[in-house]
Structure 1
Amino acid sequence: MSTELYAWLDEYNDSHINPINILIHKVAVPVILFTVVGFLWALPIPSGRFRHLLSVGKVGLVNMAALAIIGLLAFYFRLSTKIGMGMALVFVVMMGILTNMELKNVKIFRLCIILFIVAWIFQFIGHEIEGKKPAFFKDLQFLLIGPIWTLAGLYRTVGIKY
């Protein structure tokens, strides 16, 4: 684990001590990440011909979500190869779910708005219980750290060193 990753996770931990807040975050952070990917998924790509370079059925996988994920993975792999690999798996699963939803004509954007709002309400309830402001109030980059903080907790539980 890089010292930079350790510093990010350590500082994020400072705002997440209360067990109820931790539990809320373990659920809400992945939901929020999924909704952000879903929002980006729903954005049209400027040229339709690029959208279908890589597709499943009629669902194009070259979209704004895929482009954002590439950038996020570059950041995560820079911090830790194992964290980057775990997040790559998370994103593959999310893209699979979104592909399936689109094939079934689910209103992805509408669903993501609802989930996003509900998850953030729970996040703020968790921080009210914690008695501390969310870490991203101090630095917006903590919005990128939340998902890997959750993954790092899972890694510790199953004994994976990162």
Structure 2
Amino acid sequence: MKSAEEQLSTYKSVHLNPKNIRTHFVGIPLIIWSLFLLLNLIPVNFFALDDPAISINVAGAFTIGVLIYYISLHVRLAIGLTLFIIPVFYTSHLVAQSQGAIWIALGVFVIGWVFQLIGHKYEKAKPAFVDDLNQLLIGPFFLMAEVYFMLGLERALDEKITPMAVDKRRLLEAERRAARS
């Protein structure tokens, strides 16, 4: 498994433009919430007690798996992601109980991707997941890292990944120029 630094620097290499990052602060949470809503709509419970509040459905199993992955990458960032995911999980579960939830999920999903694509127009670079599907999981991880950096936390991580990202971006642009020649 690639390190947190390697994954974050790869993601950041195509997310250096502040406008792109801002669009991702809207798009990624919308996409995540819509995916949780869709997962809550799958009528499978892996574990349930008599109390319906104590059950693990597809969304719950996904949450546990993703949080374990984030913990294995970086514990402190995983704590922030846990604090983000809990309300996402809860609110998407509530909306899943309403009629038309699938249409809400699909609409929010599309709106989230519109924000993402607008951001990449600013960046003039393709999304990170195009070359590595695992980068889809790194998007929320990257945003949490950016929140920490804005708060003055995890400075050593920022100081490590930013130069790596800039170097990777230079390589990408050199490859793009060479391909056009």
| TM exceeding 0.5 | yes
SS at 2:3's partner residue? helix
Cα distance in 2 for residues equivalent to 1:52 and 1:41: 17
- Following superposition, the deviation at residue 11 of structure 1 comes to 1.2
Task: Find the partner of 1:129 among 122, 125, 138.
Answer: 122
Unaligned runs of 5+ in 2: 158-181
Letter in 2 for 1:157: M
Structure 1 partner of 2:136: 143
Cα distance in 2 for residues equivalent to 1:53 and 1:128: 50
Cα distance in 2 for residues equivalent to 1:53 and 1:10: 46
Structure 2 partner of 1:95: 89
SS at 1:62's partner residue? strand
Task: Find the partner of 2:101 among 97, 108, 114.
Answer: 108
Work out the number of aligned pairs and report it.
Answer: 154
Letter in 1 for 2:128: A
Q: Contact 2:120–2:127 (CA<8 Å) still a contact in 1? A: yes
Q: Does residue 29 in structure 1 map to residue 28 in structure 2?
A: yes
Q: Contact 1:35–1:112 (CA<8 Å) still a contact in 2? A: yes
Structure 1 partner of 2:52: 55
The CA RMSD over aligned residues, in Å, is 2.1
- Following superposition, the deviation at residue 54 of structure 1 comes to 5.3
- Following superposition, the deviation at residue 129 of structure 1 comes to 2.1
- Following superposition, the deviation at residue 98 of structure 1 comes to 2.2
Q: Kindly report structure 1 stretches of 4+ aligned residues shifted beyond 4 Å.
A: 51-54
Against the structure 1 CA distance between its residues 37 and 89, is the aligned structure 2 distance closer, same or farther, given a 3 Å change threshold?
same
Cα distance in 2 for residues equivalent to 1:99 and 1:43: 11
Structure 2 partner of 1:80: 74
- Following superposition, the deviation at residue 102 of structure 1 comes to 4.3
Cα distance in 2 for residues equivalent to 1:54 and 1:84: 29
Task: Find the partner of 1:158 among 136, 145, 151.
Answer: 151
**Normalising by structure 2, what TM-score?**
0.76
Taking only the aligned residue pairs, the percentage that are identical comes to 29
- Following superposition, the deviation at residue 100 of structure 1 comes to 3.3
- Following superposition, the deviation at residue 52 of structure 1 comes to 5.1
Structure 2 partner of 1:18: 17
Cα distance in 2 for residues equivalent to 1:88 and 1:153: 16
Larger Rg: 2
Cα distance in 2 for residues equivalent to 1:98 and 1:81: 25
Structure 1 partner of 2:37: 38
Q: Does residue 119 in structure 1 map to residue 150 in structure 2?
A: no
- Following superposition, the deviation at residue 79 of structure 1 comes to 0.5
